[in-house]
Amino acid sequence: MMLPLYDRLRSAIRTALATQYALDRDAAAIPLETPPTRAFGDIGSPVAFELARELRKAPRVIAQDLAAALGPIEGVTSVSAAPNGYLNVFLDRGAFLTARLAARGTAGPRGGKTIVEHTAINPNKAAHIGHLRNACLGDTLVRALRFRGSPVEVQNYIDDTGVQVADVVVGLRHLEGLDLAGVRAIADSTRFDYYCWDLYARVTEWYEADKARLAVRAETLHEIEHAIDPSAAIGAFVAERIVRTHLVTMGRLGIDYELLTWEGDILRLQFWARAFELLKQKGAIFLQTEGKLAGCWVMTIDEDGGVPAEGAEPAAPADGADGEEPREKVIVRSNGTVTYVGKDMAYQFWKLGVLGRDFKYRRFGTRLDGETLWATTSRTDEAVEPHPSFGAATATVNVIDVRQAYLQQLLKQALAVAGHPEAARLHTHFSYEMVALSHATARELGFAPPPGSEEAAKPFVEVSGRKGLGVKADDLLDRMIDKALGEVVRRNPELPAADARQTAERVGVAAVRYFMVKFSRTKVIAFDIDEALSFEGESGPYLQYAVVRANNIFQKLRDRDGLDEAAIARAVAAHPPTALAGDDAADRLWSLVLDAAKLDDVVDGCVRTLEFAGLAKYAFGLAQGFNAVYHALPVLAEERDDVRLWRAAALGYVRQQLAAALHTMGIDVPTRM
RNA sequence: GCGCCCGUAGCUCAGCUGGAUAGAGCGUCGGCCUCCGGAGCCGAAGGUCGCAGGUUCGAAUCCUGCCGGGCGCGCCA
């Protein structure tokens, strides 16, 4: 809970600037940072530096003026000017901690609803490691928004009428010669997502052996889109079965959704037809009559990025003096079928409440918290009333890998030219880089590129769903959990098997989830099994271990002294905060408390930049700080009552904040590990 | 060709809207379990922040140009 204090401080400095220099500054623009050591202060501001030129005064003088002009600020004991011009703020340490301990509860609702779409795996085969990065980032965003009290709706888009599902249907019908009953029998007796994984790779090979076979794919896709059986029925069966396996896989990681939106419903409910009208009305798309795209409805691609910045001049026509043809993107093919972009536009219009239509809804399953998982439907007979209100959000975020940046840009452009520039501005593409494999891991899994090949020279090995090349999400999780189980049993031989299993699951999940968010989203991850399996250093289990250790201290305080956290908070009031100020040890503990308080600021920054590596690093730093203090400053063995109690209070707060940070990343803490 | 992204220690990466002495993990070397759990802690070595200019009181951070690498630009998604 640092943000309210920052606000007070900024507003006080703003007032001082006004009274002292008659300057009218935006409070939000006043820079605040953390000084390198506590000796300099708890909060510092370089505000005097940027004013030096304007005021024709030395930064040090300005800082001195400001320090003198600042009235009393709640929670602040003193403000001083450093010789180099920094304005340094010192906090009332004891009051700060007791206020934090008393301030439970969450922030009130803020802002309109944000729809976050993530996962969106083609429902034709098992999830792989790349999908995990998407889901972990998306789920962390959702949790971060909830942490701030921002209304959020999580959706998972299901492309059940796409080429990838069609390919598996081709495999089932033409390679395996199965009908719906046969497919069902296989689905009931195998790991169906794994079966389809292999089958999909075989279908790809089958096409490559004879390109003429691609006609079978086109025909199958057409049948699926137009509800012609048996392809349509088999496709629907495959999609539903596979989606359920994906839900189970993601559920293992603590990831779930409020609504599954089915692409098929977008077609059947004429969402596309409606969006098509809107786009035609505005002249956003037109029927091309000549050239190679004759017969297609196309959208002209705005090379300047589609959405003009506010107040910017309208972009000049793309067909300028250079004589280049403006580029065009096909939205409706000459055979009348809609491309993915078209369907996505209709979906996006609905999300932002500008389509003028709604889905019907059915119950699909149960969420992790026991609530209903809803799915869209176009069938009146299975529609359920009443249902929660979906769609019509103020903002939307699509979690999709960076290779689709171009399509997402087109999506924004479509919104803008269809008459909704504001909606376009409120749509964000949360892009992230790919997950590849390290050479060592590719070798271990049996698909190392041939020596001397182009692939072998690259720094990592790319995965390919088409070739069946990659690490399945469930296999990875199984390995992580097995490895964790070995460690748990070795360290806790007396633990009952069921408890050990539960602990191992939490540790394994923590390892995967932390690994997926610790890198910047703009970085390609070269996934390495050994690195991911290592639980040492900067890893999810390291963070859990810190909380487990803290829990042990509080368990013992309860057992030995009969003190719970509420009792500690009360008892501390009777003593001066000697453990927080006075010597190096106290400064160290205080620094940790101060750091722990910044979770809200950190989460805010992550939501603003969509960069959750910052949250991961922050949590790791907190755990590191805790572990260091844990070794240096005993609680239970401390004989001075005041120091012992204040240390307990401080570590209790740190533990609470660290656990909250972990929860935001979807990491649960085991009771023992 | 055009667009986006990346280049920081041996390796993998942090470094927030420019600010106080460029950090962490792994690896290497050396310490610490009669002491709240060693998945831990303490210490050491290790960096022309790709290169060259520019803006600034101040640049790893912002701008320009190069160099090296990745991705995208389809009647696939």
Tens-place pLDDT, residues A183-198: 999 999 999 999 999 9
Position A151 pLDDT exceeds 90: yes
The nucleotide whose C1' lies nearest the CA of A301 is: B73
Per DSSP, the residues of A451-516 read TTSHHHHSSSB--BTTTTBS-BHHHHHHHHHHHHHHHHHHH-TTS-HHHHHHHHHHHHHHHHHHHH
pLDDT of amino acid A182: 97
| Rounded average pLDDT over A269-277 | 93
Which pLDDT band holds residue A52 (cuts at 50, 70, 90)?
Answer: confident
Distance between CA atoms of residues A139 and A658, nearest Å: 18
What's the Å distance between residue A509 CA and nucleotide B10 C1'?
A: 31
- Please list the helix, strand and coil fractions of chain A in percent, rounded to the nearest 5, in that order: 55, 10, 35
What's the Å distance between residue A616 CA and nucleotide B16 C1'?
A: 14
Which pLDDT band holds residue A358 (cuts at 50, 70, 90)?
Answer: very high
CA angle A556, A662, A426 (to 5 degrees): 155
Which pLDDT band holds residue A499 (cuts at 50, 70, 90)?
Answer: very high
**CATH fourth-level superfamily of A540-664:** Isoleucyl-tRNA Synthetase; Domain 1 (1.10.730.10)
Summarised one tens digit per residue, pLDDT across range A57-70 is 889 999 999 999 99
The nucleotide whose C1' lies nearest the CA of A609 is: B16
Summarised one tens digit per residue, pLDDT across range A380-396 is 999 999 999 999 999 99
Q: Which nucleotides of B are covered by protein (CB under 7 A)?
A: 2, 4-6, 12-17, 19-21, 24-27, 35-37, 39-42, 56-58, 69-77
CATH label, A114-160+268-310+322-358+373-432, candidates 3.40.190.10, 3.30.70.360, 3.40.50.620, 3.20.20.70: 3.40.50.620
The nucleotide whose C1' lies nearest the CA of A672 is: B37
Position A322 pLDDT exceeds 60: no
Structure tokens at A292: 């190679």
pLDDT of amino acid A317: 35
The nucleotide whose C1' lies nearest the CA of A434 is: B71
The domain locations on chain A are: 3-91, 114-160+268-310+322-358+373-432, 163-255, 441-533, 540-664
Position A312 pLDDT exceeds 70: no
What's the Å distance between residue A537 CA and nucleotide B29 C1'?
A: 18
Position A56 pLDDT exceeds 90: no
Using alpha carbons only, how large is chain A's radius of gyration in Å?
29
Place of tokens 């008892």: A571
Distance between CA atoms of residues A121 and A401, nearest Å: 12
Distance between CA atoms of residues A158 and A139, nearest Å: 17
For the ranges A329-333, A367-371, A592-596, the lowest mean pLDDT is seen at A329-333
The hierarchical CATH code for the domain A3-91 is: 3.30.1360.70
Which residue is nearest to the C1' sugar atom of B70, using CA? A524
For strands A114-117 and A152-158, give the pairing. parallel
Which pLDDT band holds residue A86 (cuts at 50, 70, 90)?
Answer: very high
Structure tokens at A251: 């559920």
The nucleotide whose C1' lies nearest the CA of A462 is: B70
Summarised one tens digit per residue, pLDDT across range A444-463 is 887 777 777 777 777 788 88
